[in-house]
Amino acid sequence: MQTVRALVLFLASYLAAFSMNGQSLLQDTETLLSDLNILEHRDTVSSDSLVREASARVLAILYNYDNPAGPVSFQEAQLNGLSDIYNKNPMIRGLIEKDSISIFPDQADSLFTQRFKENLYALRGAPRHKMMNLLHAETAVSPSSYLSVTNTLQRYSIPPVKNTTSLRLAAEGSNRNVSRGIVDAPAIIEGLFEFVLRRAQQEVAVNFMEKLVGKEVRDFGEIFPTVVNTFTGHDFTYSSSFLERLRQAFYEDLQLLSIRLPNLMLQAEYFQALQDDPISYNLLVVYSMAGMAQNGYALDEILPITSRYLYDSYGEAKKEVNFQLAGAAYNSPEYLEVIASTEDIVNNLSDIYIKLDSAENDIRNSINGFLEAFPGLPRDPALDNYLNKEEYDFMAILGGSNNEYDLSMLPQLLRGELDSAYVLNYNTIEDYDKFFGQEHTPEQWRAAGLELARNLNGDWYAQTPIDEILRNWQKSLAANKLAAEQWMNANDPQGALRQAIAKAEASRLQLQDTISATYAYWQPVLSRNDGLALQLLDSIASDFSDIMEQPSFLLPREKKLELSKERLVEIEKRLVTLNDKFSRNHPDMRDESPVLGYLLDREPVTPYSDIIVMIDGLSEKLRTLQAQLNALDTKGAPLEIKGRDNAEPLLQLTEILTQLVYSLRSDNDANPWLTREQLNTIFDGGIRQQAFLGLMTQRLLNIRDVGRFSPDGMAQLVELTVRDLPSLADTSTTAQMDSLAFYRKASFAVNAFNRILQLPLMVSPGSATRQFEPLTAQYPQLSSMPEVTGQAMDLIYYINVKDHRHAVSSVIRLFSSLDTAIAQLSGLSAGVPGAKRKPVIQFFRDYGDFIAGLIDAQEGDEVKGLVNGIADPPGSSRTKRREDMSVGLNAYLGGNFGFESWDGDEMGTDDFLSMAPTIPIGISISSLFGKKRRSFSAFLSFLDLGALLSYRGGTSFDAESVFTFKNIFKPGVQLHWNLKDTPFYLGMGGHYGPQYLETNGSQISVRSFRGFLAFGIDVPIKTLYQK
């Protein structure tokens, strides 16, 4: 049975080793589980090399998913912290923290390290890893680069680039029609106004175009500059060339509309309120992704480059804040407080570094001295690994070098001038070139100093702040010292024991004296219970006889020493806790407390606990500095800090999206994405899903300021994203490639981007409820982003494929959303009076369809139909039956019956009854009356085409009507009842005008008055007003 199990494990290991060449999250999951299975059953594996190989692969996978940009050339000590790191990841912690599993080898020799590196190289050689190279390009990877005075001064020798500038550049790349040329005039439109059969419609067309070109569009010159500049001072004319020029001007302006949007972010009448809002950075993301998709970038390039681009924009926003403060606030009380705090912190850092470095040297000297006492004893290489970590490299920033500035210059930078005593302390040509080789303005000095001051309280290395790095360094020192003592005890047990017992007794006496002094110092302000607590500690510290006087056969000397040290540690902890309590209650007495002197001047029982006190003091000073910087920002750069702070959640989003796509990348360039079938083999609700999501989550946990992730939310996000991946299939063999390929890539990214916003993925850092929430709930300012993102993507797409009708609709929706976002931001109602936002939206609603149709028309009939569409469409008779009031140009088609009277100088007077068709044209004023809201109209007519065809019975005039335009001029007044739910009307009225007759070959005129009842169909031509 043992042989069979060993064979199975060997095959599993072989397959795992083979899969390391696959280099995808799916294969890494299989390898991890397979190797963990080997490690769990290592007792049944006869080959030690098999176990060590499994351990090397497991550690390589865990290291890679935690530190994708970390160095491959590192020391073994860097692996020691992996268990602590993954302790924050419950899904992986549940796999590796079992009593039966140890992921570390018994001995990490050079051969094991080499195998680990080879596996890590294989993981870093995957196609997906280029995403990490792009994402982390030029990222600071050590404290020395993070706090480099020289590098910071170099960055601040260049002015900041505003976010709107970045947005404008990205927008230009999003429209491929810009680089190809905007205007592509079609054939001249023939017969432009041949459709105008009735003069009334001609007048409507003329007035419409005059209003559009001569008045309305001029109010929005920022959006339609080509139209305004081309047609200023021109009257509209009936000519094909005029409409062709208008068509081209509108085409150019509409094509450039998405690109001009960043300019509207600079103008108060439009969207300036959103200039530094997350929406502005959101549009930067959309434009960047669309632009790269247009230029053929692959998705696994688009996302990390976009994230990096946004990171650079964030850096420029920070620069803008610092330059504003450096130029306008450097004499303010808040700024002077920052200088004082920074100087104190730099000195504190130097003191702590000296202590740590001295302790390191003491340990090293102790080991070297022991080796000299025992010449033949080999040195234990593990003793050198505790402190061999890159984040402990402080000398580069605190001490500087021949051609580098050191951090002690920071207060000078903040003051904007070099200290003469400091500079004259140097005396070489290299020193001269360092200080004066490149000229820097006082403003540049101060701005660079502000960035470094902020970095003091930032994440120096691997998301770890400086005080935490120093605490880790102190812990590493304590562990190194303990390991060295254990090594020396093992090789000289008696000598070491004697020294340790004597040292412990000296420590006890020292601690007892400190307790007595502490009681005497604080006694005047102590409560009775606090005084008793100190007296009891003094009594405990004075007598260790219950340990030391035990017979050696019952309690060996080694055990006595161990128990004595443990008791001293516990006494010291309680003394420090009491002293902290007294110091909080009486801060004015804190600095003279004997406990501080004990910790600083004496060797404490706990190794280097005096350094912990110094680090705690540094932490407090860093918090004070941060509060001072916040106050300085709020007072000195209130507008600039909005742009900086609002970029941060977008940085999180783009990096989460990049890591998501990284996790779904396969090792095959031909089929680059995880399929739904493959996902189904992993998402079984068991250990495979746990490992898959655990490794993916580890990548996300390294993103700045994110909380704990939801396994269910992550699973849902992965499933939805994988469902969309088939849409990215290569379309190079289809005719749709040019128009749709870029949109597929960009819209996939935008959809995933919006899902990350809306799914309950993570717990907000510092949340009291610990509930999983969407980012839109954690950051309310992001709530409008999914809508704005989708609309911006639609606009870019429709503009690129020249579908201007849909582009106009996208503009209306996008501008409306931006208007609403401003209203929410300012607490006002959408469309603030006096602003251009609401009028421009109404302009697009009124004229957008016409402009888009004019641009898109390809033939004469289309233009004829377009201009014909200026008139009200069929069915417009319903307007006066539904709206409270309307005014419009109207015609009617029907018949009337009534009384008519003619009066002429030559013919006399004649009265008669007549019937006639009626086709009057005039102005109709309509309104609704009564509870039943019946519609009535007052109609003022100017023309009546039906007057030519009237039948007159019983007239005494021997004459015939003349078929002439003069006989249709019949001014009149009518009152109509507009029948509900029909286009019909009933009316009564009259008209008066000349009637031209022909008798005996000559033409005469008579005065005509007619009163009548009418019935017919309502034919609106153009609604002029309604409410």
Structure confidence by residue, pLDDT tens digits, 212-256: 665 666 666 666 676 666 666 555 554 556 666 666 666 666 666
pLDDT above 70 covers what percent of the chain? Answer: 64
pLDDT number for residue 674: 83
Work out the pLDDT band at 624, boundaries 50, 70, 90. very high
> Region 310-337: what's the mean pLDDT?
86
Q: Which of 715-724, 948-957, 1008-1017 has the lowest mean pLDDT?
A: 948-957
Lowest-confidence region among 265-269, 407-411, 467-471: 265-269
* 962 in Cβ contact with 1002 (< 8 Å): no
Whole-model pTM? 0.61
Which residue type does 184 have? D
Q: Return the C-alpha torsion angle 904, 908, 912, 914, nearest 10.
A: -30
**466, 336: one domain:** yes
CB 946 within 8 A of CB 918: yes
Q: What's the confidence (pLDDT) of residue 733?
A: 43
Q: What pLDDT, on the 0 to 100 scale, is given for residue 283?
A: 61
For residue 555, give every residue at least 6 positions away whose Cβ sits within 8 Å of its Cβ, in sequence order, or none.
Answer: 547, 563
CB 693 within 8 A of CB 328: no
- What pLDDT score was predicted for residue 631? 94
Number of domains in the chain: 6
Same domain, 888 and 1021: yes
Per the domain annotation, does 106 fall within a domain?
Answer: yes
Both 830 and 933 in one domain: the answer is no
Q: How far is CA 509 from CA 161, 428, 540, 713, 796, in A?
A: 64, 53, 12, 58, 78
Verify that 663 and 779 share a domain, yes or no: yes
How far apart CA 939 and CA 920 sit, in angstroms, is: 10
Enclosing H/E stretch for 829: none
Rounded mean pLDDT, 167-193: 40
pLDDT number for residue 383: 76
pLDDT cut 90: percent of the chain above it:
10
Q: Are residues 309 and 337 in the same domain?
A: no
pLDDT of 610 > 60? The answer is yes
Which of 262-266, 715-719, 772-776 is predicted least confidently?
262-266
pLDDT band of 849, cuts 50, 70, 90: low
Q: Are residues 56 and 108 in the same domain?
A: yes
306 within domain boundaries: yes
Section 162-183 average pLDDT: 47
Give the mean model confidence (pLDDT) for residues 561-581: 89
Q: Which of 765, 785, 801 is the last residue of a domain?
A: 801
Contacts of 376 (CB under 8 A, 6+ apart): none
Structural domain range at position 103: 2-126
**Spatial separation of the C-alpha atoms in residues 666 and 671, rounded to whole Å:** 7
Domain boundary among the residues 586, 605, 624 is at 605
Compute how many other C-beta atoms are within 10 angstroms of the C-beta atom of residue 987.
Answer: 22
Burial 681-695 (b: 16+ CB within 10 A, else e): ebbeeeebbbbbbbb
Domain co-membership, 428 together with 502: no
Task: Specify if 167 maps to a domain.
Answer: no
Note whether residue 541 is domain-resident: yes
Q: Which two tokens stand for residue 26?
A: 């799916």
Arithmetic mean of pLDDT, 687-716: 80
CB 39 within 8 A of CB 55: yes
- Inform me whether the pLDDT recorded for 409 exceeds 60: yes
Mean pLDDT of the chain: 74
Q: Specify which residues 333 forms β-bridges with.
A: none
How does pLDDT run across 456-515, given as a tens digit for each residue? 877 666 567 888 888 888 888 888 888 888 888 788 777 767 777 888 888 888 889 999
pLDDT of residue 149: 59
Q: Which residue has the higher pLDDT, 320 or 953?
A: 320
pLDDT the model gives residue 307:
75
Ranges 56-70, 283-297, 817-831, most confident: 56-70
Of the pLDDT bands very low, low, confident and very high (cuts 50, 70, 90), residue 706 is low
Q: Are residues 404 and 508 in the same domain?
A: no
Mean pLDDT of 922-928: 91
Tell whether 881 and 994 lie within a shared domain. Answer: yes
Q: What is the pLDDT of residue 107?
A: 66
Residues 6+ apart with CB under 8 A from 781: 277, 278, 646, 649, 825
Whether 260 shows a pLDDT value over 60: the answer reads no
DSSP state letter for 672: -
Of 469, 485, 501, the one marking the end of a domain is 485
Q: H or E element: which one contains 899?
A: strand 885-904
pLDDT band at residue 623, thresholds of 50, 70 and 90? very high
Tokens, residue 434:
């360092």
Residue 444 inside a domain? The answer is yes
User: What is the average pLDDT across 978-1004?
Assistant: 81
Least confident of 143-147, 978-982, 1015-1019: 143-147
Q: Identify which of 135-139, 347-351, 553-557, 715-719 has the greatest average pLDDT.
A: 347-351
- Please check whether residue 12 is in contact with residue 34, taking contact to mean a CB–CB distance below 8 angstroms: yes
Please enumerate, as own/partner, the contacts of 564-571 that have beta carbons within 8 Å and a separation of 24 or more: 564/501, 564/504, 564/508, 565/504, 565/605, 567/540, 568/504, 568/507, 568/508, 568/511, 568/541, 568/605, 569/605, 569/606, 571/511, 571/515, 571/537, 571/540, 571/541
Angle at Cα 448 formed by Cα 443 and Cα 451, nearest 5°? 130
Confidence band, pLDDT 50/70/90 cuts, at residue 204: very low
CA 13, 19, 21, 27 torsion-angle sign: negative
Q: How far apart are CA 989 and CA 971, in angstroms?
A: 11
Where is pLDDT greater, at 648 or 294? 648
Choice between 33 and 41, residue whose per-residue pLDDT is larger: 33
Instruction: Quickly count: other Cβ atoms within 10 Å of residue 196's Cβ.
Output: 18
Q: Are residues 568 and 650 in the same domain?
A: no
Residue 193 has pLDDT above 60, yes or no: no
**Would you say residue 248 lies in a domain?**
yes
What is the C-alpha to C-alpha distance for residues 845 and 855, in angstroms, rounded to an integer? 16
Q: Is the pLDDT of residue 170 over 60?
A: no
User: Smallest Cα–Cα separation from 250: which of 204, 185, 187?
Assistant: 185
Band of residue 66 on the pLDDT scale cut at 50, 70, 90: confident
In a domain, 341, yes or no: yes
Instruction: Return the amino acid letter for 17.
Output: A
Confidence of residue 338 (pLDDT cuts 50, 70, 90): very high
pLDDT of residue 666: 82
pLDDT at site 722: 79
As a whole number, mean pLDDT of residues 784-797 equals: 72
For the cut 60, the answer to whether the pLDDT of residue 130 exceeds it is yes
**Which of 210, 428, 173, 427 shows the shortest CA–CA distance to 306?**
173
Per-residue burial over 712-721, b = 16 or more CB atoms within 10 Å of its CB, e = otherwise: ebbbebbeeb
- Identify whether 75 is part of a domain: yes
What pLDDT shows up at residue 141?
43
Least confident of 59-63, 109-113, 142-146, 277-281: 142-146
Among 972, 914, 917, smallest CA distance to 946 is for 917
Q: Are residues 30 and 105 in the same domain?
A: yes
Looking at the fold, whether 646 and 794 belong to one and the same domain comes out as yes
Q: What is the pLDDT at residue 76?
A: 57
